[in-house]
């Protein structure tokens, strides 16, 4: 099974989908490749999401505990590590706990002063002539969003190839 998976991955990664230079593709080819990669990415994320709890459970049951309280094991030459991590306490929960114990928020929190950009104040500075709009524009970097919608025929072809368990 593992050899079959590795062969399938090699074929996929060696395909033009991943190795073809974008300049070699027509505009239609770039759009199709982009949408196919969206699908591959979505399928990979869903598959990892399904595998993660199974792997965590497997290593907890069959692995060995490390001195730090983690679990580790090897499977077919692959190493699996289940690290124990703790998140920070919920700040609102801590505030409620402090209030219940008649303690001040500053007993557990630091007061922080920050500066936040205010576009209306900058507009006022421009309006009164203290700064030039062009000076502010020079500090603005353009960014672009890319939204690609597949043609109906490509969308139908891609939907045909999605296993039912992966459909939204």
pLDDT tens profile 137-151: 999 988 888 888 878
> Does any domain span residue 17?
yes
**pLDDT (0 to 100) of residue 58:** 96
> Does any domain span residue 16?
yes
Using CA atoms, how far apart are residues 162 and 58, in angstroms rounded to an integer?
Answer: 28
Number of domains in the chain: 1
The token pair that represents 95 in the structure block:
């505030």
Q: Is the pLDDT higher at 65 or at 154? A: 65
Using CA atoms, how far apart are residues 8 and 92, in angstroms rounded to an integer?
Answer: 49
Q: What whole-number percentage of the chain has pLDDT above 90?
A: 52
Q: Is the pLDDT of residue 21 over 80?
A: no
Q: Which residues constitute the domain of residue 42?
A: 1-86
> Does any domain span residue 158?
no
Q: Is the pLDDT higher at 128 or at 26? A: 128
Buried b (16+ CB within 10 A) or exposed e, 54-65: eeeebbeeebee
pLDDT tens profile 86-139: 899 999 999 999 999 999 999 999 999 999 999 999 999 999 999 999 999 999
**pLDDT (0 to 100) of residue 166:** 46
> Does any domain span residue 137?
no
Return the closest-CA partner of residue 29 out of 141, 154, 116.
154
> Does any domain span residue 14?
yes
């Amino acid at each position: 099974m593992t050899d079959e998976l590795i062969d399938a991955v090699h074929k996929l990664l060696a395909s033009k989908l991943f190795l073809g230079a974008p300049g070699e593709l027509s505009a239609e080819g770039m759009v199709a490749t982009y949408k196919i990669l969206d699908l591959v990415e979505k399928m990979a994320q869903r598959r990892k999401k399904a595998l993660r709890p199974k792997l965590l459970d497997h290593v907890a049951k069959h692995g060995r505990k490390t001195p730090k309280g983690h679990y580790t094991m090897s499977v077919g030459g692959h190493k699996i590590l289940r690290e124990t991590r703790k998140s920070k306490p919920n700040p609102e929960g801590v505030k409620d706990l402090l209030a219940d114990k008649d303690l001040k928020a500053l007993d557990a929190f630091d007061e922080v002063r920050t500066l936040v950009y205010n576009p209306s104040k900058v507009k006022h500075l421009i309006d009164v002539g203290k700064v030039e709009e062009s000076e502010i524009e020079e500090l603005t970097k353009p960014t672009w969003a890319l939204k690609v919608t597949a043609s109906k025929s490509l969308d139908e072809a891609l939907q045909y190839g999605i296993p039912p368990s992966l459909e939204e």
